[in-house]
Amino acid sequence: MLKAKKQTWRELGDAVALTGESPFWDPVRRAVLSVDIRGERILETNWDDGNARIFPVEGLPAFIAPLTDGTLAVATRHGIIGLSRTTGRCIEMLVPAWFADHLRLNDGTIDPAGRLLIGTMAMNGALEGQLFAIERGQPPVALIDGIGIVNGLAISPDGLWLYISDSHPDHNCVWRYRYDCAGPTVCDRTLFADFKRLGIAGAPDGAAMDVDGGYWIAALGGSALIGFDRDGRIAHHIALPVSQPSKLAFAGPDMTEVAVTSFSRGDQSAPAGTLIAVSMPSVGAPLQTLAW
């Protein structure tokens, strides 16, 4: 494994999350969107001055993405809602008929067609997680099942590969699939990175892609961001001031920094649950727009 390198970082404002997750760069408003799962709220943090707007949202919000009209699509325990950043009102967008009481939505990403790819996880620890492709007004399409905790979702810049991590202790690895956006369908699963075999501390949580097809993932409990090349080799190991980094999103006008969310813990040099920005050795791939 490469030796960890200290990296320049800064706090993005002083808003603190109990369980910070799902950062999403909004270039129109020059802001980082994120969720506080246990705090049940949405944060919109200004990139330039760190001021944060906070919107209460019930139901353990876990993923967020802006629509073309500025509305925020938020995945919660009960389904997907639309949140107005003007009024703070929430409207029901999708309540899946397949949802069970012991399940909740977790990590998500957006494919080149603007579909929402989002996973479920069982709150009782069972290996019942699934990955769904969802278009508004259409039945969800089940792509993958038998996952412990769906995380690490990202699609390569050419749209050909889907990455998904399973941060359940029984798995603790990243898989890669061939992705056909026209279907959508997945096939040709390969083991991309086994955290235990590679000796990486922590669990593979949220992820992002760079323009060269590099896959970056937060090591929850490992105080680091891990960068992999296309062949699954560790190319970068960036030490962080937070022990529980949960997800990263390339951000900023030139996409050379990442916004990193984290869980509240006392054993970290940055204030627990603080959103931080970290300078990166690569340029981030632009995020897709949710076409709902």
Backbone angles phi, psi at 195, to 5 degrees: -60, -40
Which of 124-133's residues contact partners 24+ apart within 8 Å by CB, and which partners? 125/168, 126/102, 127/168, 127/170, 128/103, 129/166, 129/168, 131/164, 132/96, 133/184
Residue range 247-277, pLDDT digits in tens: 999 999 999 999 999 997 655 556 557 899 9
54 residue type, one letter? I
Is 151 annotated in some ligand binding site?
Answer: yes
d(CA 248, CA 269): 18
Q: Among 38, 50, 25, 205, which residue's Cα sits nearest to residue 119?
A: 205
Note the pLDDT of residue 264.
Answer: 77
| Tally of helices (H runs) and strands (E runs) in the chain | 1, 25
Is 172 annotated in some ligand binding site?
Answer: no
Note the pLDDT of residue 3.
Answer: 47
Residue range 84-119, pLDDT digits in tens: 999 999 999 988 776 677 888 999 999 999 999 999
The answer to whether 133 touches 143, Cβ cutoff 8 Å, is: yes
Edge-first strand order for the sheet with 173-180 is 150-155, 161-166, 173-180, 185-194
Count of other CB atoms within 10 angstroms of residue 124: 8
Domain 5-279 has CATH 2.60.40.10: no
Is 205 annotated in some ligand binding site?
Answer: yes
Q: What is the pTM of this model?
A: 0.94
166 residue type, one letter? D
Q: Which residues contact 241 (CB under 8 A, 6 or more apart)?
A: 9, 223, 268, 269, 270, 276
Note the pLDDT of residue 96.
Answer: 76
Catalytic positions are 205
Q: Among 42, 25, 77, which residue's Cα sits nearest to residue 251?
A: 25
Q: Among 225, 227, 192, which residue's Cα sits nearest to residue 212?
A: 227
The answer to whether 2 touches 235, Cβ cutoff 8 Å, is: yes
CA distances from 130 to 30, 37, 119, 120, 186 (A): 33, 20, 5, 5, 13
pLDDT tens, residue order, the chain (292 aa): 454 455 689 999 888 899 999 999 999 999 999 999 999 999 999 999 999 999 999 999 999 999 988 899 999 988 899 999 999 999 999 887 766 778 889 999 999 999 999 999 888 888 888 999 998 888 889 999 999 999 999 999 999 999 999 999 999 999 999 999 999 999 999 999 999 999 999 999 999 999 999 999 999 999 999 999 999 999 999 999 999 999 999 999 999 999 999 997 655 556 557 899 999 999 999 988 899 8
